[in-house]
Amino acid sequence: MEDSIHIEDFENLNNGESDVEEVPLTAAEVIELMEEAWRNEKFAPEMLPQKSEVVDCLLGQISYMEENLRNLKSTDFQKSIHQLEVDRLRFLVNSYLRQRLQKIEAYVFVILKQEEQRLERNEDLYLTNSELEFAKNYKESIEQHFDEILGFWPGLPSDEWKNDPVTPNINSFVFLKSKNEIEGVVIDDGTEEEEDLVDFKIGSQLIISYNSVSNLVKNGE
């Protein structure tokens, strides 16, 4: 029997309810969720909502596995096999977190502005507290760097570079595999041409503009 892990379901909080429902998941299901979050974060051009609850659950499972490994003899063949799986899971978590930090470094001004807008609308933030602190410190260091550099050319507008920050290309094309049956997905290619509709079947695979499915990806559909 697989270990059961609990992930908190925060949907009730968004509805103004204070109760937190815990959804039991097996270790295999947590790993599957982490792999999905990793794939989505890797191939989505923009920052996606954070999955800290999945990361925390998987890290807890990794600690549990490492504790069991310490109880095995070094000559036990199974120890090497299980250690490879632990290393794979650690790489999965580290790669996921590293991809998010790389997006913060690339689009820090846009990401922080979007977070401020979500805060004003009382929506869930996409960044964890640690990521938000990193983003603010990174933005501050960039601003300080440019202020120092531009100080050598007094005639240049000091804030002009802030008016055109680097933004993710949400109209880029991505490879998609549908988890659910979804009808009437609007194909948005970033032009003013007439929009087309497409139906997704479970397991459907296609190349599509990310902007057409961004909300589906963020909602886990």
Question: Are 122 and 50 within one domain?
Answer: yes
Give the residues across from 209 on adjacent strands. 173
Question: Are 173 and 161 within one domain?
Answer: no
Q: Is 28 buried (19+), middle (13-18) or exposed (0-12) by CB count in 10 A?
A: exposed
Task: Grade residue 18 by pLDDT with cuts at 50, 70 and 90.
Answer: very low
Specify the pLDDT at position 12. 36
If you search the block for the tokens 């988890």, which residue do you land on?
Answer: 179
Phi and psi dihedrals of 120, rounded to 5?
-65, -35
pTM score, whole prediction: 0.81
Total number of domains constituting the chain: 2
Over the stretch 152-197, which tens digit does the pLDDT of each residue have?
666 666 666 677 788 999 999 999 899 889 888 888 765 666 668 8
Over pLDDT 90: what percentage of the chain? 52
Read off the CATH number of the domain in which 28 is found. Answer: 1.20.58.1030
Question: Are 200 and 114 within one domain?
Answer: no
Question: Are 147 and 185 within one domain?
Answer: no
Average pLDDT score over residue span 47-71: 93
Read off the CATH number of the domain in which 174 is found. Answer: 3.40.5.60
Q: Which domain holds residue 34?
A: 4-165
DSSP state of 71: T
